[in-house]
Chain A
Amino acid sequence: MSNYNLTHIKELEAEAIYILREVFAQFENPAILFSGGKDSICVAHLARKAFFPAKIPFPFVHVDTGHNFPETMEFRNQYVEELGVKLIVGSVQKSIDDGAATEEKGKNASRNAIQTVTLLDTIEEHQFDACIGGARRDEEKARAKERFFSHRDEFGQWDPKNQRPELWNIFNGRCHQGENFRVFPLSNWTEMDVWQYILSENIALPSLYFAHERQVIRRSNTWLPVSDFITIADDEEVVTKKIRFRTLGDITITGGDESDADTLEKIVDEVASARQTERGNREDDKRSETSMEDRKKQGYF
């Protein structure tokens, strides 16, 4: 009997595949939120496994802030083509042009918060009743309270005090017209699990995750990449550093770490000994103690 044990990675994989299949069964019109970051790439990989030998039965939705790393875009386009799935792009620029969203001003302006507007509009336009995302509970304290099936009202809002209890492996995805769910198959994964999984499955990633030379400036204790979207102050110096990114958000807010880790093995070793959380370099989370909680309540994922 003792041979019938799964390793924790295999158990997490089985759980995520189960969730993805439940989404397919319980919803009319689900989609995968695909950012081109490692977590959504993992979700896509798991979806491929869940429905094999059939194709992934969900379109991919990318909320395009217009402030992307070019490498992420390239990866996204190539991956979507390889999988043969439909890509739907929600444009934050369009939301701004239409007057639905207002761009932030100032030195640290970012389009992170207004993504929510575009996301909610895209969900409404395409009538998605479930959006599958790669968020994990270990990322942030507001996310620690998330469900696998996270219910959102017709305004896309999350109400942490009124969540549906999730018992055993029975998931309740019933909702009224106009309401929808966010579904998080990686809820129980940690950053380390994701990297171990990427290593053991040999999953392709955007080159940004691997150490590379890049022009950067020092800002808020991190190396911020130089791009057309940031304004460099007079007292800020552009230098070339060997860095890699632990998470991929907008190019305007994602800081890199100095690193020599240019292979998956080296990255796993680096993550294992990391002393900072991966979101420690994300400006969007640093704004206040409750910035993630506040954004989630408004419809962020």
Chain B
Amino acid sequence: MTQEKTTPHDNKGYLNMELLRFTTAGSVDDGKSTLIGRLLYDSKSIFADQLEQVAKSSERKGLDHTDLALLTDGLKDEREQGITIDVAYRYFATPKRKFIIADTPGHIQYTRNMVTGASTANCALLLVDARKGVIEQTRRHSIIASLLKIPHVIVCVNKMDLVDYSNEVFEQIKEDYEAFASKLEVKDVRFIPISALNGDNVVNRSEEMSWYEGSTLLYTLENIHIGSDHNHIDCRFPVQNVIRPKTDKYHDYRGYAGRIASGVFKAGDEVTVMPSGFSSKIKSIDTYDGAIDEAFAPMSVTIQLEDEIDIGRGDMIVRTNNKPDAIQDIEVMVCWLNGKGPKPRAKYILRHTTSEVKAMIKDITYKLDISTLHRNEEDKEVGANDICKMQLRTTKPLLADSYSKNRITGSLILVDEGTNETVAAGMIV
């Protein structure tokens, strides 16, 4: 297999590209690796030495074609066992966008990896085997995408070549999925019939499915509107560090460094610092390249205020007329990530934006069956990969919004004090 590598970057447009982060979910059998390999290959993101390696590996396995799935092969253990054990990140670019793929394994025990990959994604790619239709795994992945509030979902109905490229099969799967997804909160769902193996509707339009009038997968990824995925309304600036150069030139400089979680901040804005509640005005928004008039998510900037207020890491600068809740009793949907489940009234370190507090699990309301959405209020034994609703009580108030309004100020993690491991991911209800 040879291919001329023409470049996606050879125009000046490269500097104006947007970034789209998407996650792929599906099992080995769904052809997920083949699909990613196909996207990388057909978008000409594969280098000659990588392709050569894959060709060699294919040969060693006795295959008569170059198996594109091998492009996503990972660690030694994974190759030996033919599985993916962890989230792998892959990159490719077209002249329109740069893409970050969080490639997560689809086995039942790897919910935590899917949740991890989904937490930063704008878009989820779900694979459905055209021969099998909507199965339990499809439902599980969709529920996770919905819980994590991924703004866009693309259902790729794969292996269309094995069902004679049948329009009826595609429509039936679409109907089944829509019936199930109506119970979920996914705003934007699209369906694309593909064959990852043959490349139909992945990068190039299929000649076999003239009945399909929609876009190819790559075109869809390039054109999905992601401009509204950030919250540009509620101004939230969690302070990371205080910058005090103490040099002759900047003797009295005191700036608050951080990344804008949401909203748009402008010089001159009336702001309140939480939790202290003191108000001031933004004196300037500074960057290394000079002061700027306005800053929005997800920019990293340094803010100076007109008044001298005692501010430190964990404080939050917000607009005076739009504040987050300051809450100590917190209701969260939690994905448990650790093999060791929580004991009743167990205490953990809780991290939320740039603050760290202690938290106690007061109650587990229910465990969610992520295949059926059934809420189990009887069995509250929580283990790895379980999703449940919990009541937490913290030592100090969190400056929080609900996750559905704000993915940054609405998310938290729990850390085991003894092992320092991240044991749970939480979304504030």
Contact = CB atoms under 8 A, between A and B. Distances in A.
A172 interface: yes
A141 B422 contact: no
Given A166-B116, A169-B408, A188-B89, A25 B9 contact: no
Contacts of A176: 420
A277 B75 CA distance: 19
A51 B255 CA distance: 10
A145 to B, nearest CB: 5
A5 B75 contact: no
Contact of A7 (B15, B50, B74, B264): B15
Given A4-B232, A53-B245, A190-B91, A165 B47 contact: no
Contacts of B310: none
Interface string B103-119: 00000000011011001
A181 to B, nearest CB: 11
Interface in B84-115: 85-91, 93, 97-98, 100, 112-113, 115
B112 A21 contact: no
Contact of A25 (B53, B230, B232, B240): B240
A145 B84 CA distance: 10
B48 A14 contact: no
Contact of A21 (B227, B250, B300): B300
Contacts of A145: 74-75, 86-89
Which range holds the interface residue count of chain B?
35 or more
Contacts of B48: 275-276
Nearest to B414: A172
B400 to A, nearest CB: 13
B253 A172 contact: no
Given A5-B18, A272-B7, A167 B425 contact: yes
B313 A25 contact: yes
A206 interface: no
A266 B49 CA distance: 22
A48 interface: yes
Contact of B300 (A18, A160, A190, A276): A18
A290 B258 CA distance: 39
A271 B286 CA distance: 33
Interface in B213-259: 227-228, 230, 232, 240-241, 243-247, 249-250, 253, 255, 257-259
**Most chain A beta-carbon contacts within 10 A, residue among B88, B286, B297, B408:** B88
Nearest to B289: A49
Given A7-B18, A145-B75, A170-B412, A175 B232 contact: no
A279 to B, nearest CB: 9
Given A1-B232, A4-B232, A164-B422, A280 B47 contact: yes
A4 B230 contact: yes
A64 to B, nearest CB: 29
A137 B91 contact: yes
Interface residues of A, number: 68
Nearest to B3: A275
Nearest to A275: B48
A14 B408 contact: no
A21 B267 CA distance: 22
A1 B227 contact: yes
Contacts of B211: none
Nearest 8 A/B pairs, CB to CB? A8-B19, A272-B9, A49-B288, A17-B300, A54-B245, A272-B7, A174-B420, A167-B119
Interface of A: 1-2, 4-15, 17-18, 21-22, 24-25, 48-55, 137-138, 141-142, 144-145, 160-161, 163-170, 172, 174-176, 187-188, 190, 192-193, 196, 200, 268-269, 271-277, 280, 289-290, 293
Given A1-B227, A15-B298, A22-B240, 11 more contacts: A5-B18, A8-B97, A18-B240, A21-B257, A25-B354, A137-B89, A144-B74, A144-B89, A268-B9, A273-B10, A275-B48
Interface of B: 5-10, 14-19, 47-50, 53, 73-77, 85-91, 93, 97-98, 100, 112-113, 115-116, 119-120, 227-228, 230, 232, 240-241, 243-247, 249-250, 253, 255, 257-259, 264, 286-289, 296-300, 302, 313, 337, 349, 351-354, 407-408, 411-413, 415, 420-422, 425
27 contacts: A5-B227, A12-B19, A14-B300, A15-B300, A18-B259, A18-B300, A21-B240, A21-B258, A21-B300, A49-B288, A54-B246, A138-B90, A166-B116, A167-B116, A168-B407, A170-B413, A172-B413, A172-B420, A176-B420, A272-B8, A273-B6, A274-B5, A276-B48, A277-B49, A280-B47, A293-B75, A293-B76
